[in-house]
Each structure stands twice: as structure tokens, then as C-alpha cells.
Amino acid sequence: MKREDVLISPAEMGRQRDFTQRLRQRSEGLGRRPLAMVDTFGCQQNVADSQRIMGMLRDMGYGFTEDPGAADVIVINTCAIRENAEKRVYGLLGRLTHAKAASPEQVICLCGCMAQQQAVADRVRSSYRHVDLVFGPQALWKFPELLWEVYTRRRRVFSIEDEHGAIAEGMPVVRESRVKAWVSIMYGCNNFCSYCIVPYVRGRERSRDPQAILEEVRQLVEEGYKDITLLGQNVNSYGRDLEIGMDFADLLTAINEIPGDYYIRFMTSHPKDATDKLFDTMARCSHVAKQLHLPVQSGNDRVLQAMNRRYTREKYLGQVAYARSVMPELVLTSDIIIGFPGETEAEAMDTVSLIEQVRYDALFTFIYSPRPGTPAAALPDPAGRAEKQLWFDRLLEAQNRISAEIHQGYVGKTVRVLVDAESGDARWPLQSRTEGGRLVHLAGPKEAVGQFVQAKVLDSNTWALFGEIVPSEN
Ligand code: SAH
Ligand code: SF4
Ligand code: F3S
């Protein structure tokens, strides 16, 4: 794809702002402030996209509500990664028939990764007739125009045709925290892991211009944000499509120059593209948190190959060893899939032995869910659900023990944490994170929210640490 075809032109973005203005005039003409509800499923990329949708809605004059009965516009931003995620959305759509029947003027929008699938769009078209607007992630920037069409043409609108996707700069945003922010650095995925739907619904890999990313991060730091996460399905392939000789490590180096008191995190890193240069850069850059999410998926080479992951157990273990050699304090997490089609018990136990060997701080674990249209969904899958569940339970048991042991090692230590929110819990009224991203439930005054503080760790369990704020040494 040529760069000029990927970037949405400033003129086109201006056109979208015109639709936003028209919708704003419509809102102002109502004589009351219209309300919107945005419900988000799925990963941080979807959370970031929803913040853009909310930005557009705010500029159109909408306030926000969590009550579907009170909403003039409902936006459901969906995830297609596993069958369960889709089922929950269909359940919600079913329940919304009542809200819509009570107020027929209500506009219901379905967007995100599920919406980009033709089969889902067809099912919504025929069976969920109360849904007015369906658009995929690639059409996000066109939301003002699409909503305008729903209001003026009074017909259902479907926009899922752009498979490859574009890059739109300058969309408004409503960030939900004053401390933490998401910054997408690239969109799409080219990896086609055999089990995964993402490349089919998020289009091809495309990197934002480094200047646009640097500007966004600089502004966030100036506004006081202290915990900034760079997002991409595989950040390690950042820059390949730009052809300016800049890779992800170079981008981190450039961001690290921005002065201020903040951490940069990123996700996700694909092991096939994680380089020593990346680990050296992380080690060197003081703003880059020593935290790495490096999904391994499986500890067995045959399964890794069938998954089309393009690395071996040995290569992965070598990367972990190198990363830890340059960052001894590194907090390491991973994603695991148990029960890939054809996986045997012995192969699943190779994954358990890998996690015993690596000793991750925490894991995100999933039982394989067939995604229609992916190569893995066509493979024979002889192991039953109950058997897979047993393997899964063994994995969890091992990881829970490891996480508890690692967390126990923090007790008695004093660590620097960023307080990101109040918690509502009387004993531990604050929520905070270590540099490595571990959750610390904290005792301390609510004025600490948004600050870096020293915390003495008093207790721990499998999932979190517990501590109290102590005066800093200097
Ligand atoms: N781009 C990221 C992952 C995004 S999806 C990466 O490659 O690391 C998040 C996780 O969901 C994946 O890492 C995988 O563990 C899991 N996942 C993806 N497809 C799945 C499926 N069909 N069934 C079960 N888990 C799946
Ligand atoms: Fe899916 Fe693989 Fe792409 Fe991650 S890298 S989004 S698992 S295809
Ligand atoms: Fe789900 Fe789409 Fe993210 S499928 S995990 S919301 S990229």
C-alpha cells in the first residue's frame, strides 16, 4: 500500500469535522443534552478506539451515561477474539431490544472487530433489526458521517468494506484517566497466527508517523500523564511499512528523550521480531518501564509451528535469558493458549514445563476457541473440552503458585509506585502499580492519586501486593 493511500487526508478529516458540527447543531436544537452510552469489549486497542468514539460524540454535543434506557445513542465496540466475547455481545444486543422498543428514536451502533466480519454483519442485518449502524474498526474515523447518514436518511447503515485500513490523525479523544493513557503506534496485523481472527478484522499493518506519535506523547506528558502505553498487535514490526529505516527500538529511544516524570510501556511484542537491540534499548532508556509482555502461546515446537508463530521454544527461552541479563528486574508476562487443535496432553505439559522454567510474574491464559475462517478452525480437534480443562487447570495451578512466590518476594521491600486511582476499599483505599506493572493495593491519602510514591510492601497474594505509603528518602 502506498503511504498516500494509507493516510486519510486532512481535507477528508475536515469533512468529518463538518459532519460533527452538523450533529452538534442537531444536538443543540433538541432543547436538552442528548446522551450516549459506549460499551467496550476486548483489548486495549478497543479501549483506545472507544476513547476516540467518545471524543467524537462529545464534540457532537453528547453527554455520557451508563444506562441504556437513558441513551440517545448506544455504541457497542466489540471483540471477536474468542466465541465467548461474541456471545456476550449477542446477549447484550438481545437485551437492547427493550430499550429500543421503549424509545424508537434511539440509535444503536455496533462497531469493532466483530462488526468487520461479513457473517456477523449479515446476521445483524437479518436478525437484529434494531441495530441502525454497523461499522468495522477501519471505518472508525468516518463515524460522524455514518451517524449523520443514519439520522438524515433514516435507514440502516453498514460500513465494513475497507479491509486493509488506513491511518487517521487528529481524531478527538476522551481519556478516562488523568494518569494513564493509551497511544496507538500502529494498526492491523500481518502475522496470521493460524488460530487468530485479528488479521482478518483489523487489516494490514500500518505504522503512524513517528512525529505524530512523539507529539502525542509529548502533549500527554505536558498534561501530567505518567503512565503511557504504546499499542500495536505487534509493536516489534513498527516502522517496516514506513521505509525510513526506523524500527520500534528507535522509536522508544526518541520517545525517551521527552523530558518529564513518566513511564512508557508497550504491548504486544511478538517473539519472532523481538531483538537484542530492543532489550538493550529498554535497558538503557530510563523512561521505559522494565516490563515485557512477550506472548509465547505454547511451549511445544510442533504446536508453535502449527500456530504459525515462527519461533521455537529454544529461541524464545534464549530471548528471555538475554532480556533478563540486561534487565535483571524485568517483570515478564505472557499469553498462553491451551487445547490448540490436535494438541496432546504431552504437548500441553510442555507448556506447563516452559512456564515453570521461565517463571512469569503473571499469565493471561485461554482455552482455544475456533474462529470461523481461520486455518486452525479447519483442523481436526480430537481432545474434548473436559480434557482441555484439566490441562488448563494444571497450568493455572502452576502459574498461581509461581505468581504467589514472586509476589511474596516483595514483602518487606520498599518500591516506587504510581498511584493511579482510588479503590473504594476501606483498608487499601488506593490502587497503584510498580514500574513493572504489578498491582499494589495501598494505604495512604487520596491526594496521592497521580503521584509517584514510595510504598512498603506489607503483604501479597497470587494477584497483587498490599502496602502503605512511606516517606521517600530524599
Ligand atoms: N497481538 C497479540 C495478541 C492479541 S490477542 C500477540 O500476538 O501477542 C490476545 C491473546 O488472545 C493472544 O495472545 C492469544 O493468546 C489469545 N487468542 C487469540 N486467538 C485465540 C483463539 N482463537 N482462542 C483462544 N485464545 C486466542
Ligand atoms: Fe493474532 Fe498473531 Fe496477530 Fe497477535 S500476532 S494479533 S496472535 S495474528
Ligand atoms: Fe478483540 Fe479486536 Fe482486540 S478481536 S482482542 S478487540 S483487536
Report how far ligand 2's centroid is from the alpha carbon of 214 (Å): 25
Report how far ligand 1's centroid is from the alpha carbon of 196 (Å): 6
Query: Could you tell me how many residues make up the chain?
Result: 474
For residue 55, which amino acid is it? Answer: G
Residue with cell 511445544: 300
Starting from the CA of residue 111, give the closest ligand: 3
CA distance 135 to 110: 7
Q: Ligand 2: does its nearest atom lie under 6 Å from the Cβ of 234?
A: yes
Q: Ligand 2: does its nearest atom lie under 6 Å from the Cβ of 233?
A: yes
CA-closest candidate to residue 356, choices 308, 405, 289: 405
> Exposure string (b/e) for 262-272, b if CB count within 10 Å is 16 or more?
bbbbbbbbbbb
Sheet holding 180-184, edge to edge: 180-184, 227-231, 263-267
Report cis status (omega within 30 of 0) of the bond before 152: no
Domain 414-469 in the same topology as domain 3-159: no
* Coil vs helix vs strand at 204: coil
- In terms of DSSP bridges, do strands 186-187 and 133-135 run parallel, antiparallel, or are they unpaired? unpaired
Report how far ligand 3's centroid is from the alpha carbon of 197 (Å): 8
Identify the pLDDT of residue 150: 97
Report how far ligand 1's centroid is from the alpha carbon of 323 (Å): 23
Report how far ligand 2's centroid is from the alpha carbon of 20 (Å): 34
234 CA: nearest ligand 1 atom: 1
- Please state, as a whole number, how many other Cβ atoms lie within 10 Å of the Cβ of residue 346: 8
For the chain, the domains span 3-159, 180-273, 290-407, 414-469
Kindly list the protein residues whose Cβ atom lies closer than 6 A to any atom of ligand 3. Answer: 42-43, 45-46, 79-81, 112-113, 197-198, 202
Report how far ligand 3's centroid is from the alpha carbon of 178 (Å): 24
Helix crossing, 276-284 with 313-326: angle to 10°? 20
- Please state, as a whole number, how many other Cβ atoms lie within 10 Å of the Cβ of residue 413: 11
Give the residue whose CA is nearest to atom 24 of ligand 1: 368
CA distance 208 to 7: 9
Identify the pLDDT of residue 5: 87
Report how far ligand 1's centroid is from the alpha carbon of 415 (Å): 32
User: CATH for 414-469?
Assistant: 2.40.50.140
Q: Ligand 1: does its nearest atom lie under 6 Å from the Cβ of 335?
A: yes
Q: Considering the entire predicted model, what is its pTM? A: 0.97
Q: Ligand 2: does its nearest atom lie under 6 Å from the Cβ of 196?
A: yes
User: CATH for 290-407?
Assistant: 3.30.750.200
- Please state, as a whole number, how many other Cβ atoms lie within 10 Å of the Cβ of residue 16: 21
CA distance 409 to 193: 36
DSSP string, 93-115: HHHHHHHHHH-TT-EEEEEETTT
Starting from the CA of residue 269, give the closest ligand: 1
Q: C-alpha angle with apex 74: 204 to 25, nearest 5 degrees?
A: 95
* C-alpha separations of 211 from 98, 214, 256 in Å: 47, 5, 14
Phi/psi of residue 74, nearest 5 degrees: -115, 130
- In terms of DSSP bridges, do strands 439-443 and 157-159 run parallel, antiparallel, or are they unpaired? unpaired
Q: Are 190 and 200 in contact (CB under 8 A)?
A: no
Residue-by-residue pLDDT tens, the chain, 474 positions: 788 889 999 999 999 999 999 999 999 999 999 999 999 999 999 999 999 999 999 999 999 999 999 999 999 999 999 999 999 999 999 999 988 999 999 999 999 999 999 999 999 999 999 999 999 999 999 999 999 999 999 899 999 988 899 999 999 999 989 999 999 999 999 999 999 999 999 999 999 999 999 999 999 999 999 999 999 999 999 999 998 999 999 999 999 999 999 999 999 999 999 999 999 999 999 999 999 999 999 999 999 999 999 999 999 999 999 999 999 999 999 999 999 999 999 999 999 999 999 999 999 999 999 999 999 999 999 999 999 999 999 999 999 999 999 999 999 999 999 999 999 899 999 999 999 999 999 999 999 999 999 999 999 999 999 999 999 865
Grid cell of 366 as nine digits: 485461554
Give the residue whose CA is nearest to atom 18 of ligand 1: 196
Q: Ligand 1: does its nearest atom lie under 6 Å from the Cβ of 297?
A: yes
Starting from the CA of residue 41, give the closest ligand: 3
Report how far ligand 1's centroid is from the alpha carbon of 389 (Å): 18
Report how far ligand 3's centroid is from the alpha carbon of 83 (Å): 12
Q: Are 420 and 438 in contact (CB under 8 A)?
A: no
Quickly name the fold that domain 180-273 has: Transcription Regulator spoIIAA (3.30.750)
CA distance 248 to 234: 10
Give the residue whose CA is nearest to atom 2 of ligand 1: 233
Q: Ligand 1: does its nearest atom lie under 6 Å from the Cβ of 236?
A: no
CATH of 3-159, one of 3.40.50.12160, 3.40.1370.10, 3.20.190.10, 2.170.120.20: 3.40.50.12160
Identify the pLDDT of residue 338: 98
The H or E element containing residue 8 is none
Q: Are 331 and 437 in contact (CB under 8 A)?
A: yes
Identify the pLDDT of residue 474: 57
Report how far ligand 1's centroid is from the alpha carbon of 359 (Å): 20
- If one residue of 41, 52, 79 were mutated to test the ligand 3 pocket, choosing by the most ligand atoms within 8 A of its CB, it would be 79
Report the phi/psi class of residue 450: left, alpha or beta, with left for phi > 0 and alpha for psi in -120 to 50: left
Q: Ligand 2: does its nearest atom lie under 6 Å from the Cβ of 463?
A: no
Starting from the CA of residue 267, give the closest ligand: 1
Phi/psi of residue 244, nearest 5 degrees: -120, 15
Phi/psi of residue 423, nearest 5 degrees: -115, -20
Q: Ligand 2: does its nearest atom lie under 6 Å from the Cβ of 85?
A: no
